[in-house]
Structure 1
Amino acid sequence: MTLLDAVVVGSGPNGLAAAVTLARAGLGVRVLEAQPTIGGGARTLPVPELDDDLLFDLCSAVHPMAWASPFFRAFDLRAHGVELVAPEVAYAQPLGGDRAGLAWRDLGRTADGLGADGDAWRDLIGPLAEDWRQMTALALGDKRTVRGMLEGVRGHGGYASETWGAAASLARPGLRFGTAVLEQGGPRWDRRFLTEEARALLTGVAAHAITPLPSYAGAGTALLLAALAHADGGWAVPVGGSQAITDALVRDLEAHGGVVETGRQVDDWRDLPSARAVLLDTTPRTALEILGDRVSAPRRAALGKFRYGNAAAKVDFVLSGPVPWAADDVGRASTVHVGGARAEMVIAEDAVAHGTHPDRPMVLLSDPAVADPGRARGTRRPLWTYAHVPSGSTQDVTEAVTRQIERFAPGFRDVVVGARCIPADQMERHNQNYPGGDISAGAATMWQMVARPSLAPDPYQLAEGVYLCSASTPPGPGVHGMGGWHAARRALLREFDVRHVPGLAPD
């Protein structure tokens, strides 16, 4: 039997990032994907029951992390043929009538639009946007080691210097970010902003964490993503859809001798080909099912305590024209948080946390044709949405989402040509890493953002030669590839004694 160097289970962004890193080190790599298509949370597919010509992002759609993460900066998506385009308005928060909060790419224009809260927004978000490299390095580190926290500070591949100078470059941005998280994640979050536009604009981003608000995990999410909205790349969408990122990774993997096999379900470690290293782009639950008693009893017990979070139900629409937003300039944003005022979003997220469906759910909406007109076909265009719901929900939320959008875009129903819902309990059929519809692959609590998937000194190694590399590991969810990058470099060192991290830039 041929012994492979490495097998990667799962072809999501983290699995492919791990595979690319290993293949570039000269190893023989095979990726096994259970689905018939490659990409996990970064796939773009036709939906024949809706429209034969339009393409829909199955999971993720908007990618501020795809240009900001140290892995993708080193990989250089643009040089690999991926065009990331950012709209003039990064994201918007309609409030009814002609009122809306608008996060323009330009920080000054955003502040000007917030009136009495302009200076407060500039003071809170401006310094974070200036330090976006340091913030991203901190947020996307391995949460364990000094080296892991310093990676990517300079925006190059490999390890950042472990000098006191490199650490010092993170001290001030880290303190500023931590102070802001404490403010916006706790009872003082209402004190800074006076207007509903500013309050809702930040709260809509915090809701990405699908957690009760205010929360420190939500605040960290909001502050990082809000800062990236005003940074170099903005809230970008890949031309052609999220699949463009996946395809670039696969091309590079295959160019370096790697192989991807689809339709390869792995239920047990005996389903795996013999390899010196195995990397699992799966949840801890799936990893334990595959590995069985190959994982020590203490490690199994720790991973068994890993909590999964609330869920999302997906609704794809085909429209006959743009969304008829009532407020000016909302239509310039590819991303719109449809939740109303801060108090409404708090009520909606609290209901989900208590296992009920809110009457007015928090809806995230992406209109990719705003930034990438090629996604439209004549007057028809795809619209991507999801609503926050309790874990395992079986409810078809099409009507609830339509009703919520109609509140802020009167006449929306008139431009809807077709719609299809993927309830939360069916999300796992498309991506096994979304148990019960948990698209974060684990509850977004402050504890689990650090102790993810447990408080083990090494969050990636599960057993001898076996590593976890999914969004259930640090740094958590998002299309950034960092979980795979962190895990692959540990495997290179421990299993192959490769001490020099391979470069990722195009050959």
Structure 2
Amino acid sequence: MGFSRGAAVIGSGPNGLAAAVTLARAGVPVTLFEAAHTIGGGARTTEHVRAGVRHDVCSAIHPMALATGFFREFELAKRMSFVVPEASYAHPLDGSAGDHAAVAYRDLDRTAAELGRDGAAYARLLRPVLSRLAGTLDVALGGALLRWPSDLLAAVTLGARTLEQGSPLWNLRFREHRAPALIAGVAAHNVGPMPALANSGVAFVLGALGHATGWPVPVGGSQAITDALAADFLAHGGRIETGRAITDVRELADFDAKLFDTSARALAAIAADALPDNYRRKLERFRYGNAAAKVDLVLDGPIPWRDQRVADAPTVHLGGTRAEIAAAERTVALGGHPARPYVLLTQAAAFDPSRNQAGVHAVSSYTHVPRGSTTDVGPAVLDQIERFAPGFRERIVDVQVTPAAELSVENANYIGGDFSSGEVSLRQLLARPTLARDPWRTPAGDIYLCSSSTAPGPGVHGLSGWYAARSALRTVYGLGAPELALG
């Protein structure tokens, strides 16, 4: 098949850029359209709080950047720099001396040794998943779920542990607070009530990566990932048009293939006349989850954690015990704003000083809120940080609060502040956005969805774009997947 007219990619988040790189590497002429005036979507780093201090606008730490298929083949780690601390994430608690925090180190045995009576149980829970990490990642991130797993034992192992930690059985193997809190803090990356199977699956995938390749900090911020992808795309003949919103698929009539790094709802609106009614209705029924509200800070020094081990981790999960986190998430699911919310905090600048001016420290955080919330969560978030870091408030130089409703203004894919571009539930992991062997290709044939609204879901991994582009290469152009490594 020919490809004289080339392909259009709409949206320049990590998935859109991954799709564009893959197509361009195969020799297809590609034009990337971005409605904003800068590319990157959620993987951008700006001085939006204070001049000279760089904060990530959404994602900051990238557990999947060193381990997943697309970025490994693209050799991302050779194109930019990462700092990979020994401590992947930490979870402060209101404990007695020596029991103020749990820390997940890359070394599983070291982690277990600091978890008291539950250390051995924690290690037994995680070690089988780690021992079959490649198979685990294939099950969780390998694309469409309507296929036989490459490692059946890994699938069974992951499934059994996901069922345990995603059900009322989740505390049976533990006796203290530290180990279950450590797991709950990771599970809560997925917005939703707990326990739940989807949250539990997230905990095992991200937790296993924390004990394997680590949770790396990109030097220069998430923007460095965007820049590396864009540089390769342009080097292989790609074109980027910023400030160009596509509102009707007929604007793309001159292209052989159209790949949308947009929400499912946006695709339904843009391509309404080109899609069969039943498929369009499925896109319109695609459910969006609850949301995030951001609190970005500039401090005059490091956070004064009560337990100084917490300073060794770029990511900190705040919320107290597993029971407290579950209660906070339940409040959000019921439409409320918890007084003691779950807070995900990143102190990336402590590991990448290039983000700061001398004498100040950039810190980012977000908490979960009902979708569309306009509430100022600043006081509750600051109280939660102060709870585990007495004297923290005295170090605040500047603060910016972004309610959930404003996140969707910043990024149209974040409907109501849902940064996952669709609820991550068991049902919507199986059918994202529909149940199909090739969930990226629409019935229109030349139209593809390549955002987090499709498999394998949210995260800075580029996989949705990579899978969609490979489908388009195969079905539209009759081509195989290209090499992505540096020449």
User: Normalising to structure 1: TM-score of the pair?
Assistant: 0.93
Aligned length: 481
Residue 34 (structure 1) aligns with: 35
Residue 158 (structure 1) aligns with: none
In 2: Cα distance, 1:173 partner to 1:464 partner: 34
In 1: Cα distance, 2:22 partner to 2:81 partner: 22
Letter in structure 2 aligned against 1:90: S
* Contact 2:102 2:115 (8 Å CA) reproduced: yes
* Contact 1:94 1:408 (8 Å CA) reproduced: yes
Residue 373 (structure 1) aligns with: 353
Q: Determine helix, strand or coil for the equivalent of 1:458.
A: coil
Q: 1:3–1:274: structure 2 CA closer, same or farther, 3 Å change rule?
A: farther
Shift of 1:407: 0.6
CA deviations over 1:208-265 (Å, ceiling 9, x no partner): 111100000000000111111110x201110110011110000000010001111111
Q: Determine helix, strand or coil for the equivalent of 1:407.
A: helix
* Contact 1:471 1:483 (8 Å CA) reproduced: yes
Match of 2:449 among 450, 462, 468: 468
Q: Determine helix, strand or coil for the equivalent of 1:329.
A: helix
* Contact 2:52 2:356 (8 Å CA) reproduced: no
Letter in structure 2 aligned against 1:60: S
Letter in structure 2 aligned against 1:19: A
Residue 51 (structure 1) aligns with: 50
* Contact 2:144 2:436 (8 Å CA) reproduced: no
Unaligned runs of 5+ in 2: none
Match of 2:196 among 215, 223, 226: 215
Residue 445 (structure 1) aligns with: 425
Q: Determine helix, strand or coil for the equivalent of 2:188.
A: helix
In 2: Cα distance, 1:20 partner to 1:87 partner: 29
Shift of 1:377: 2.1
Match of 1:182 among 144, 154, 163: 163
Shift of 1:473: 0.3
Match of 1:401 among 375, 381, 385: 381
Q: Determine helix, strand or coil for the equivalent of 2:471.
A: helix
Higher alpha-carbon deviation: 272-281 or 366-375 = 366-375
Residue 225 (structure 2) aligns with: 245
In 1: Cα distance, 2:159 partner to 2:435 partner: 21
* Contact 1:205 1:225 (8 Å CA) reproduced: yes
Residue 138 (structure 1) aligns with: 139
Residue 326 (structure 1) aligns with: 306
In 2: Cα distance, 1:86 partner to 1:325 partner: 21
In 2: Cα distance, 1:458 partner to 1:492 partner: 13
Higher alpha-carbon deviation: 132-141 or 242-251 = 132-141
Q: Tell me, yes or no, if structure 1 residue 354 matches structure 2 residue 353.
A: no
Shift of 1:3: 6.3
Letter in structure 2 aligned against 1:93: H
In 1: Cα distance, 2:386 partner to 2:253 partner: 52
Match of 1:84 among 66, 82, 85: 82
* Contact 1:96 1:326 (8 Å CA) reproduced: no
Q: Tell me, yes or no, if structure 1 residue 201 matches structure 2 residue 186.
A: no
In 1: Cα distance, 2:36 partner to 2:440 partner: 24
Q: Determine helix, strand or coil for the equivalent of 1:418.
A: strand
In 2: Cα distance, 1:37 partner to 1:130 partner: 41
Q: Determine helix, strand or coil for the equivalent of 2:438.
A: coil
In 2: Cα distance, 1:478 partner to 1:136 partner: 13
* Contact 2:146 2:436 (8 Å CA) reproduced: no
Q: Tell me, yes or no, if structure 1 residue 337 matches structure 2 residue 317.
A: yes
Letter in structure 1 aligned against 2:69: P
CA deviations over 1:457-479 (Å, ceiling 9, x no partner): 43111212000000000000000
* Contact 1:310 1:353 (8 Å CA) reproduced: yes
In 2: Cα distance, 1:91 partner to 1:318 partner: 21
Q: Determine helix, strand or coil for the equivalent of 1:387.
A: strand
Alignment map for 1:487-502 (pairs within 5 Å): 487-498=468-479, 500-502=480-482
Q: 1:356–1:383: structure 2 CA closer, same or farther, 3 Å change rule?
A: same
Q: Determine helix, strand or coil for the equivalent of 2:283.
A: helix
* Contact 1:333 1:370 (8 Å CA) reproduced: no
In 1: Cα distance, 2:93 partner to 2:258 partner: 49
Shift of 1:393: 0.1
In 1: Cα distance, 2:363 partner to 2:108 partner: 27
Shift of 1:145: 4.8
CA deviations over 1:82-110 (Å, ceiling 9, x no partner): 11212221101101255111111211110
Q: Determine helix, strand or coil for the equivalent of 2:314.
A: strand
Shift of 1:372: 1.7
* Contact 1:3 1:274 (8 Å CA) reproduced: no
Alignment map for 1:222-371 (pairs within 5 Å): 222-231=203-212, 233-272=213-252, 274-371=254-351
CA deviations over 1:286-331 (Å, ceiling 9, x no partner): 0011011211011112222210001000111001111111113011
Residue 458 (structure 2) aligns with: 477
In 1: Cα distance, 2:23 partner to 2:215 partner: 29
Match of 2:407 among 427, 433, 436: 427
In 2: Cα distance, 1:259 partner to 1:186 partner: 48
In 2: Cα distance, 1:23 partner to 1:3 partner: 13
* Contact 1:96 1:327 (8 Å CA) reproduced: no
In 1: Cα distance, 2:304 partner to 2:207 partner: 25
Q: Report the identity percentage.
A: 50
Computed over aligned residues only, the root mean square deviation of the Cα atoms, in angstroms, reads 1.4
Shift of 1:273: 5.8
In 2: Cα distance, 1:377 partner to 1:29 partner: 39
* Contact 2:298 2:398 (8 Å CA) reproduced: yes
Letter in structure 2 aligned against 1:239: V
Q: Determine helix, strand or coil for the equivalent of 2:76.
A: coil
In 2: Cα distance, 1:302 partner to 1:38 partner: 29
